[in-house]
Structure 1
Amino acid sequence: MTAGLVAAYESGENVSLGAGNTVSGWLDGSGRGNDLLAQGDPTLVANATPTGQSAIAFDGSGDLLERVNATDTLNGLSSGNADRTIFFVVDYLDHEGVSAGVAYGDGVRNETFGLVSSWNNETLSVQGYGGSNDFDSGIEAASPGWLVQSVVLDDGAFNHYLNGGLIDSGSHTFNTDLQRLVLGEEIRGLGESQLEIAAVLIYDRALDELEREQVENYLQLTYVDDTFIFG
């Protein structure tokens, strides 16, 4: 599903390596040029997912991948409260006391949008940043192991999914400010989490149900469960 795809990162391609298996960057496969640069020493790990795919490991101590709009424009990502969809293939290991996963925006109240493990409860959350702008599903992030977390924002209403199943929904007026896209670090720079990431897909529109199921099927079969059948 490529219509509206504005950022695409998959561990089996476009990963730039430095010494050994240390990751120096992750190139955007969407064609929009939202390439990420590494800090710390995230590592490409072979056969990391249940289906034998590689993943990028973040150790929770200085490891992150980011794109900063001030120096490298964020191209095509939805701002304000515009429609969007994110898919995140991840194994959350330890949140290290911060909310991190995949997020973009600014570390200011209500100016972020992302999928994270929450800093206080270590549960799967949609992050808007700060108090009533964050939406905690109550589902543990670390215990499931590898998972596909996703969110669809459609005309101010969001649906939050775990492995294709709805775990939370609500309405909110987000005010996303396109300052930064980051994996592995709390968006304000307050710290990093320990996790492994296999894929991130970001769309500038709300995928309909059939489209969402198609993408979910692809990600599950590729990274998590090669016997997965949606529904």
Structure 2
Amino acid sequence: MKLTALLVAVVSSVMVQPASADIVLPNDASLSSNLQLWLRGDDLTALYAGGDSIATWVDASGQGHDAVALANSTDGAQPTPSPVTLDQPTFAIADVPALGIGSSSDVLMSAGNLFGATPTEFTIITVYETADSNNRPVGFGSYREGTTANNFNLAADGTIRKDNGFVAGPDDPSTFYTRSVVQDATTLTQYYNGVQNINTSAQTVSTDQFYLGDIRQNVNAIQQIAEVIVYDRALTAGERLSVENYISAKYYSNLYQRYEEGTAGAAVASGADNGPLDHSVNDHTSTAITSGSGPVFSSDVAVGTIPLTGSSNNLSLHFDRANSEYLQIADSADLSFGQSSAGAGDASAFTVEAWVKFDSLVTGNLDRQYIVHKKSDSGVGDNDVDYGIAFHNSAGNNLSLQLGNGSSNVNISSGLSITDTTEWHYIAVAFDPSTDRIMFILDEEIVFATTSFEAVANSGPLTIGGHFNLAGGLDNSFDGYIDELRITRGVLRPSQLLAVVPVPAPAALPAGLVMLGLLGTRRRHR
């Protein structure tokens, strides 16, 4: 799936959104009275390990509509067709945290009655993946034998199905995508990755349950449901776009390591693809490499709730420089941003952000602590770096950006420094080669720099918490905590960043910087 506009451009998926739309949480004050259900896969990470059976998925809307696994018999009736053996869904965390519906049996979760007997207006927004276009992972109606004629189902092939009929939509490959369905008194409209593809007359439906899982099939292909948001009225176009922008910001960056899937005090398992997971839809699971026993999950976190997404933040990752601890992710187009020619535009623009807390500060003139660094880890110098984000001691532990083109490299210093080992700090670096502009953020300070240097992409891995020298040796490692590391193609506006960052006044911006889109999108606060 690419995301344009909101996150400017993401390689693997597209959601079309106007740049002027707000970003609001689903339970924003303007929407909360109509929010009936809000199920978030990331809420499951603190309760379950991958593969665990899920008996209850807690509703975050405040309405108490928890999704609970149904037994084989409910009120003396079996789901259709009968008889069917029901299994509990499982926690799927191979990609984004999600409810996993398995392939061995018909599984079903019910969130109760959200709309009343005959709903006329509703909005359903979902993020899910399925391997079979015949599946119907989300719907509402009756699950009882012989009473499903007016059930309403969002089928995985993009159709909307009712009473064995359907309203056609496009087939979708096996990937996570966002789907919004809005019905008012006269019209049913569907948006598929932000683009309208169904507009028809309103459907007559009846319901006594909102369910997750396909109640009409004996065997399901594997499907994963990452988020479900339900309102008991038709959202306006602006409201829908604002909530979809929240979804886009949460799932469609190029890499998003949250470190939420571990246990405090436990070391990340070494070996290929055993490291912290990518909570974006791109599935860039990392590999942990260490000479000791880490990196280690920690309950010391920057913030308890992520301002942009409302997600709970329970764990960070601690890197011990003495143990040479770092993570690596294999080369991918999602993580490469170097220019092939001047003015490469949005494809070469990027934003890197995280929270950091140091155990020790850099001391030597050339000493650095790298947060991320992308180049080969064997036998090449920094001339071959695509990009690196580090704190550099040559200018007083300054936040800096490093770029290379194969024959030379440059370090651009921000002038923003961290001088303590006791506090968490939010950092962001955004670079737009089409305008030669760099934005550096440290906590609530924002500074701008320029460079005409043209970086060149490489095939090396992304290293997190470390750096490799010309001889292939690890040096300049990070010493401390990293939390909520996110990399996004494109230059994010302050309202799109994970932290709350003040929007600079136009008079404070360098000439031309408005082209980065810094002033176009607002984040609404409750």
TM-score bracket for the superposition, by shorter chain length: 0.7 to 0.9
Name stretches of at least 5 consecutive residues in structure 1 with no aligned partner: 69-73, 118-122
Residue equivalent to 2:389: none
Name stretches of at least 5 consecutive residues in structure 2 with no aligned partner: 1-25, 70-85, 255-487, 490-495, 497-526
Q: Does 1:201 align with 2:248?
A: no
Q: Which of the numbers 108, 121, 124 marks the counterpart of 2:158?
A: 124
Q: TM-score, normalised by structure 1?
A: 0.77
Residue equivalent to 1:120: none
Q: Does 1:112 align with 2:151?
A: yes
Work out whether residues 102 and 114 of structure 1, in 8 Å CA contact, stay in contact via their aligned partners in 2.
yes
- Relative to structure 1, the CA distance from residue 20 to residue 145 in structure 2 (aligned partners, 3 Å threshold; closer, same or farther) is closer
The structure where strand makes up a greater share of residues is 1
Q: TM-score, normalised by structure 2?
A: 0.36
Q: Does 1:59 align with 2:79?
A: no
Q: Which of the numbers 189, 196, 199 marks the counterpart of 1:169?
A: 199
Worse-matched range after superposition: 154-163 or 76-85: 76-85
Work out whether residues 185 and 192 of structure 1, in 8 Å CA contact, stay in contact via their aligned partners in 2.
yes
Q: Does 1:34 align with 2:62?
A: no
Q: Which of the numbers 128, 138, 141 marks the counterpart of 1:90?
A: 128
> Share of identical aligned residues, percent?
25
Work out whether residues 110 and 212 of structure 2, in 8 Å CA contact, stay in contact via their aligned partners in 1.
no
Worse-matched range after superposition: 14-23 or 105-114: 14-23
* 1:61-91 C-alpha deviation (Å, 9 max, x unpaired): 22534227xxxxx344254241100011001
* 1:139-194 C-alpha deviation (Å, 9 max, x unpaired): 113x151100110001131111111110111003312222x2221223x5654342
- Relative to structure 1, the CA distance from residue 207 to residue 40 in structure 2 (aligned partners, 3 Å threshold; closer, same or farther) is same
Greater Rg by CA = 2
* 1:94-119 C-alpha deviation (Å, 9 max, x unpaired): 25xx54111111264652223222xx
Matched residue SS, 2:243: helix
- Relative to structure 1, the CA distance from residue 222 to residue 88 in structure 2 (aligned partners, 3 Å threshold; closer, same or farther) is same
Residue equivalent to 1:48: 95
- Relative to structure 1, the CA distance from residue 190 to residue 171 in structure 2 (aligned partners, 3 Å threshold; closer, same or farther) is farther
Cα separation, 2, equivalents of 1:67 and 1:82: 20
Work out whether residues 86 and 150 of structure 1, in 8 Å CA contact, stay in contact via their aligned partners in 2.
yes
Q: Does 1:10 align with 2:21?
A: no
- Relative to structure 1, the CA distance from residue 140 to residue 114 in structure 2 (aligned partners, 3 Å threshold; closer, same or farther) is same
Work out whether residues 185 and 193 of structure 1, in 8 Å CA contact, stay in contact via their aligned partners in 2.
no
Cα separation, 2, equivalents of 1:224 and 1:79: 36
Matched residue SS, 1:94: coil
Relative contact order higher in (CA < 8 Å, ≥ 6 apart): 1
Residue equivalent to 1:211: 239
Cα separation, 2, equivalents of 1:78 and 1:211: 23
Matched residue SS, 1:175: coil
Matched residue SS, 1:100: coil
Matched residue SS, 1:159: strand
Residue-pair matches, total:
207
- Relative to structure 1, the CA distance from residue 173 to residue 106 in structure 2 (aligned partners, 3 Å threshold; closer, same or farther) is same
Residue equivalent to 1:100: 136
- Relative to structure 1, the CA distance from residue 174 to residue 191 in structure 2 (aligned partners, 3 Å threshold; closer, same or farther) is farther
Q: Which of the numbers 136, 160, 183 marks the counterpart of 2:212?
A: 183
